Chain A
Amino acid sequence: MPDRAATLAEAARLRGLFEAAGAQPVETSILQPAEVLLDLYGEDIRARAYVTSDALRGEQMLRPDFTVPVVQMHMEHGAEPARYTYSGEVFRRQEEDATRANEFTQVGFEIFERAAPEAADAEVFSMFFDILRPLGLRAATGDIGILMAAVEGLRTSTRRKAALRRHIWRPRRFRALIDRFSGKSPVPEQRAALLAAADPMAGAEPMIGMRGPDEISERINALREDAKTAPISAAEVELLDAVLAVRETSDNALERLRDIAVDLPAIQAAVDRLARRLEALQARGLDVTKLDFEASYGRTQMEYYDGFVFGFHAENRPDLPPVATGGRYDALTRQLGRGREIPAVGGVIRPGLALSLGGAT
């Protein structure tokens, strides 16, 4: 790893580039209230962030990223449109791999803008692409929005769609749900017995705990309703799998997705967005015939991204985390905005990693 002074100098240089692109520099606190992060990420965040506490403010986290506090700040008093840049340390708890840094510098660039979201996607990506070009990294891109649209388009109950949507970022559970809803995996014995029982609550005494009998009955009713729902057809599962399997250069991926959209019209609007994004990238001089696109990219690490996603990886160093990552997170602004929302896209670079791979200059 390069020394701290070199990393900070590189961070300042990168921040300067983003400022030159019109971004306003912002600072956030290192200590973040744990509750907001826990609400967003769930308990998993505790495995990745350092938690501390005091008797007055309760649990606090050493900021694991800047996106959440920057979005909060913008939603509270930001003007529109806005673009921000920041640089500083983030902290990641490491429990499995002692060689991974638990404290490192990030420099970020975020655009909050309602008009022409694809143009904003392209602007953020091409800035990162140009900055990182000397390092010869592999750029990976994807679009979670296409998968979300595919789920939305399934001919099945709203409840099933909600369950699938909830687990888009947990591929294993998502697959298990698809298998269950398509009838591929059998109904477990207990479930069948429960549904067949005249009085499922018989013998359940005593009732203990805060999850009351009303909640249990509600779920049983939901399960009964679900049992009557027709399975998701094999043809639809095939289409969903076809979307997930798209992994080609962007121009070919677009063609492939257009073909799939003929049978799965629900993804048409999302595929059109991809087309506009690729046009915008080309207009900025990027060769999309050499840009990789994976429809399932970003499903495991980037849970708040819900549209365009990207990452820059050192291909010959699989031991290293990505040098830069980013994407669109419209839904996050809705969640943190208390009734307000704004389309947003951004990304972060790790200047220390960039320097150790040969410097970004």
Chain B
Amino acid sequence: MTLKLGVPSKGRLMEKTFDWFGKHGVELGRAGSEREYAGFVQGIDNVDLILLSAGEIARELAAGRIHLGVTGTDLVREKLGQWENQVGELAELGFGQADLVLAVPRCWVDVSHLDDLDAAAAAFRLKHGFRLRIATKYHRLVRDFLRENGVADYQLVDSQGATEGTVKNETAEAIADITSTGDTLRANHLKILDDGLILKSQATLFKSRVATMEDADRHTLRTLKDRLHLD
């Protein structure tokens, strides 16, 4: 048996993950051509690198098909119910920082807090005959956040990309999306609500709590954790 480590299959997240492991003497890399999703691991035995899309890593961890995985806290919390029971956090990797925030058009001078949004939503529904639309791909996180904060009369509309453009296109009135610098929000004439921070996320190394392990795997995990200076 080998210990299966899931890592994002492309982009900056993959490169930074490779760097992070490299700094700890575990070299990860992509095998073959740029297009081939196979990887290699050097510096430790019995660890397999599995390249996956960041979104799938949460699901694979929860299914126990990989033992370890690097992905964003946002994706784990969005995709896994009772995530603490399914995965454990081993280390925050210090990159991939992103905040999930609630943003509204900058021209809404009367809306700066969630209670303004709630009041605006009530009036919007009366006038337009449908509930104020919030575009997002983080349905669970946003819904839980709004329920906890007592915001009503809204609806979530699914947006898997270019979410910041939905307000101008009039397919949504507000958005909830990941931002790191806020530049895209500003460019699209949006502003973050003062109490609109839903979640702070960063790339994190998770361990599956459900993946089966043999003694040899446990030994491998111990060695890897020592190498990564994790207790």
A→B interface (CB under 8 Å): 38, 42-44, 46-47, 94-98, 163, 166-167, 170, 172-174, 176-177, 180, 188, 190-191, 194, 200-201, 204-211, 213, 215-216, 218-220, 223
B165-183: CB near A (< 8 Å → 1, else 0) gives: 0011010110000000000
* Interface flag for B106 (CB, 8 Å): yes
Task: Pick the residue among B131, B144, B189 that contacts A206 (CB under 8 A).
Answer: B189
Say yes or no: A208-B189 contact (C-beta < 8 A), given A43-B143, A96-B82, A219-B119. yes
B42 near A: Cβ within 8 Å? no
In the bound complex, residues from chain A placing their C-beta under 8 Å from that of B20 are none
Q: A211-B108, A219-B120 are in contact. List 8 more A-B contacts (CB 8 A).
A: A94-B81, A173-B150, A206-B107, A208-B167, A208-B189, A209-B105, A209-B167, A215-B124
Cβ of A18 to closest chain B Cβ, rounded Å: 34
Give the docked Cα–Cα distance between A207 and B150 (Å): 27
Residue of A nearest to B108 (CB): A216
Which residues from A are CB-within-8-Å of B123?
Answer: 215, 218-219
Q: Which residue of B lies closest to A163 (CB)?
A: B119
Q: Does B153 contact A (CB under 8 A)?
A: yes
* Residues of chain A lying within 8 A (CB to CB) of residue B93: none
Q: With the chains together, A53 CA to B214 CA distance in Å? A: 43
Of the listed residues A43, A98, A215, the one surrounded by the most CB atoms of chain B closer than 10 A to its CB is A43
CB nearest neighbor in B for A205: B107
User: How many angstroms from the CA of A211 to the CA of B116 in the assembled complex?
Assistant: 14
Q: Which of B107, B123, B153, B155 has the most CB of A within 10 A?
A: B107
B residues within 8 A CB of A205? 107
**Could you mark each residue 33-60 of chain B with 1 if its beta carbon is under 8 Å from any beta carbon of chain A, else 0?**
0000000000000000000000000000
The A interface is mostly helix, strand or loop, or mixed, namely helix
Given contacts A211-B173, A220-B109, contact A44 B147 (CB under 8 A): yes
Q: How far is the CB of A45 from chain B (nearest CB, A)?
A: 10
Contact A42 B152 (CB under 8 A): yes
Q: Across the interface, do B149 and A173 meet the contact criterion of CB distance under 8 Å?
A: yes
A287 to B140, CA, bound (A): 45
Docked-complex contact B115 and A200, CB < 8 angstroms: no
Q: Which of A97, A172, A220 contacts B110, CB < 8 Å?
A: A220
Q: Which residues of B contact A172 (CB under 8 A)?
A: 148-150
Q: Once the chains are docked, how many angstroms separate the CA of A180 from the CA of B119?
A: 13
Contact with A along B151-162 (1 / 0, CB 8 A): 111111000000
Given contacts A208-B189, A216-B107, A220-B110, contact A44 B168 (CB under 8 A): no
Is B198 in contact with chain A by the CB < 8 A criterion?
Answer: no
Q: Which chain B residues border A180 with CB–CB below 8 Å? A: 115
Q: How far is the CA of A166 from the CA of B120 in the complex (A)?
A: 13
What residues of chain B lie closer than 8 Å to A206, measured between beta carbons? 107, 189
Which of B106, B124, B156 is close to A204, meaning CB atoms less than 8 Å apart? B106
Contact: B170 with A47, CB < 8 Å?
no
How many whole Å from A96's CB to the nearest CB in chain B?
A: 6
- Pair B110/A219 contact, Cβ less than 8 Å: yes
25 contacts between A and B (CB under 8 A): A42-B131, A42-B152, A43-B154, A43-B155, A44-B147, A46-B156, A47-B143, A98-B81, A163-B119, A166-B152, A167-B152, A172-B148, A172-B150, A173-B118, A177-B115, A194-B110, A201-B109, A208-B189, A209-B167, A210-B173, A211-B105, A211-B120, A211-B124, A216-B109, A219-B110
Contact present for B115 and A210 (CB under 8 Å): no
Tell me, yes or no, whether B112 is within 8 Å of chain A by CB: yes
Please give, as numbers and ranges, the residues of chain B lying within 8 Å of A95 by CB-CB distance.
Answer: 81-82, 140
